[in-house]
Amino acid sequence: MVNYTAKYTKITSGYMGQLVEWPEVATEGKDLEDCRSMLRDALHEMILAYNELGKEIPLGNALIEQLPVEVERVGQTT
């Protein structure tokens, strides 16, 4: 079993989903659940295609962490 890390971004038409470790696997959905389902389907199809072509499948199991940083905005007084 391999785990991939999904990144979801809110867009005008709903959500865009993309795999961090395999950026070519990307899709859009009308809501988060739809996008998640479509991303799983896209991943499955990409695995099948890579296997047929004899290409190496990217490894999953990335570690993602948020790094907080204070950002000073132009014109902002402190």
pLDDT in tens, the chain (78 residues): 888 999 999 999 999 999 999 999 999 999 999 999 999 999 999 999 999 999 999 888 777 777 889 988 887 655
pLDDT of residue 4: 92
5 closest CA partner among 27, 22, 29: 22
Q: How far is it, in rounded angstroms, from Cα 50 to Cα 70? A: 42
Q: Is residue 29 within 8 Å of residue 14, measured between CB atoms? A: yes
What is d(CA 61, CA 22) in angstroms, rounded to the nearest whole number? Answer: 11
Which residue shows structure tokens 């070519």? 24
pLDDT at residue number 46: 95
Model's pTM, two decimal places?
0.76
